[in-house]
Amino acid sequence: MPDPALPPTPPTPAVPLAALLAREDLALRLIAGPSGPALVIHWVHTSEMADPYPYLLGGELLLSAGVHIPEAAGSGTYFDDYVGRIVAAGGAALGFGVAPVHDTVPRALVEACDTYGLPLVEVPPQTTFTAVARAVWQLMAQARLAELRRVTEAQQSLAAAAGRPDPVPSVLRQLAQRVAGWAALYGPEGTEIASAGREPETPVRAALAELTEVVRPSGPGTPTSATHATAGTHLAAYTLSTGFALGVATPTREPGDHTITSVATVLLTLLTGEQQSGSGAARTSALVRLLLGGSPEEVAPLLGGDDNWFVVHACSDSQRDLPYSGARGTARPAPKHPHPPDLLAATALGAALGSPLIDPVGDIVQVLVPADQTPHPQPGWTLGVSAPVPAQQLALAGTQAARAIARARATRTSLVRHGSRPGLAELVPREEAQAHARALLGPLAERPALTETLRTWLSLHGSWDRTAVALAVHRNTVRHRIARSAELLGVELDDPDVRMELWFALRQD
């Protein structure tokens, strides 16, 4: 299994040694060791220690004037030991300053650098070590600017590709082009779904598929990315939150490649997300079917078959004491609220409740939650929760949630659930209970405002103020409506038996 624990990419682009040698103002000269475009420098360090190993991080151009060299160094193993320690520490090259200590570069040092494969650069007397270091930083700044420009252009092209008619193949093509390699998308079962770019050899392709298994979700400790190198090719794998995985194979690994690939990972996560999955497509089909006149019974299976759902109405705590505008599915209209819920906050609430099905309306966020995700209190929100119902009865659940949140706002409670506990209603056949309710509440049948006020007033134990808050009306209006209800019903509402009977009847609605 490939090892995902590889050293991190340096924070800034490396500088080719050849670019430093090409600076005419420095007059540097390579006099020993290998050469070529693959030799790069990550930073500069000056040291006159006989053993610089403890002070090197790797990738340095180490500068020295030879102060540490003893007079008899040429007749022993001093230079072999010195160069060997630099190589062991990961030093990229050695710059030796001529004058004031040494008139020339010691011959034994040249031979040791050739033996150990360490580039040796002669620094002439007129060039200071400070000038060399400054030149390296300047080259790094130029490379950094070029890399940022490359990353920015890649981000723009990837975003444009995501908006094309074939977004997934387009994003993969742009990614492969921008990192000069090959990109492949793997499905949740590990099957290669799409790819783009210059295809690698079969062993590299197999190694990349194996690397994607490292990042495939299998538990809390699963890494989100992994890298490996094989056959001179750099491999990287990234997990997508949708169960898919992205694999990238490149001949080199540039500092900006990880950023570019991360952008592609985010876009591919969105493109392969729930809206592209079976459940997302089914819910889209349900919406289209409803808009085309489909019945709830026909559409319900697309939302999860016979599974039950909660309807949750939520308002932010900062708006809890404002007049309640209501939401669709309630007895009151939903005028445009001056402070509608923030869409990002609403989306976060849906994620916390375990559902992407959200609908901000008025000052309320409606959330459709599967019954296996029981809603719990959420910091900063006031919730009203319906009883779990089949999809065919979601309209009823919406009414229950509206009543629950009205009670929650009135009582300043973080969460109120619609009562589903078995009680007296279980002792009476439903048909008989409904017939009794229609007869008892008949005088209020054409007066929904009175019915709703009576229901809310009874649920809040006869509190005028809380009922006024719940209904967003003046407390005198509540008193007038309750008095009118008692008059039409011909009852005395101070009698607890009367209140109980009316509550029982209202519960059948």
pLDDT at position 395: 84
Tell me the pLDDT band of 337, cut-offs 50, 70 and 90.
Answer: very low
CATH of span 159-272:
3.30.450.30
Q: Cα 462–466–470 angle (5° rounding)?
A: 115
Give the type of residue at 152.
T
What is the CATH architecture of 29-126? 3-Layer(aba) Sandwich (3.40)
Residue 465 near residue 475, CB atoms below 8 Å: yes
Tell me the pLDDT band of 174, cut-offs 50, 70 and 90.
Answer: very high
Tell me the pLDDT band of 280, cut-offs 50, 70 and 90.
Answer: low
User: How far is residue 28 from each of residues 61, 121, 132, measured CA to CA in Å?
Assistant: 13, 7, 9
How many helices, marked H, and strands, marked E, lie in the chain? 16, 18
Span 462-501, pLDDT tens digits? 888 888 888 888 889 889 998 888 888 888 888 888 888 8
pLDDT at position 219: 58
Question: Would you state the torsion angle of the CA atoms of residues 317, 320, 326, 328, taken in this order, to the nearest 10 degrees?
Answer: 10
DSSP assignment, residue 9? P
Residue 66 has pLDDT above 90, yes or no: yes
Relative to beta strand 40-41, strand 43-46 is unpaired
3-state secondary structure 192-259: EEEEEECCCCHHHHHHHHHHHHHHCCCCCCCCCEEEEEECCEEEEEEECCCCCEEEEEECCCCCCHHH
Domain boundaries defined on the chain = 29-126, 159-272, 306-417, 424-507
Relative to beta strand 381-385, strand 415-417 is parallel
Tell me the pLDDT band of 1, cut-offs 50, 70 and 90.
Answer: very low
Closest CA relative to residue 346, chosen from 368, 319, 366, 321: 366
Span 228-273, pLDDT tens digits? 998 889 999 998 866 788 999 999 888 788 889 989 998 888 887 6
> Which residues contact residue 135 at a Cβ distance below 8 angstroms, ignoring those fewer than 6 apart?
20, 23, 25, 26
3-state secondary structure 406-442: HHHHHHCCCEEECCCCCCHHHHCCHHHHHHHHHHHCH
User: Span 446-456, mean pLDDT?
Assistant: 87
Residue 145 has pLDDT above 70, yes or no: yes
pLDDT at position 67: 94
Q: From the options 3.30.70.20, 1.10.3720.10, 1.10.10.2840, 3.30.1370.160, give the CATH code of 424-507.
A: 1.10.10.2840
Task: Report CA torsion sign: 19, 24, 27, 30.
Answer: positive
Tell me the pLDDT band of 423, cut-offs 50, 70 and 90.
Answer: low
Tell me the pLDDT band of 393, cut-offs 50, 70 and 90.
Answer: confident
User: How far is residue 138 from each of residues 163, 180, 381, measured CA to CA in Å?
Assistant: 38, 26, 53
Give the type of residue at 401.
A
Closest CA relative to residue 317, chosen from 412, 417, 416: 412
Q: What percent of the chain has pLDDT over 70?
A: 85
Task: Report CA torsion sign: 53, 54, 57, 61.
Answer: negative
DSSP assignment, residue 85? H
Residue 336 has pLDDT above 50, yes or no: no
> Bigger pLDDT: 346 or 8?
346
pLDDT at position 343: 65
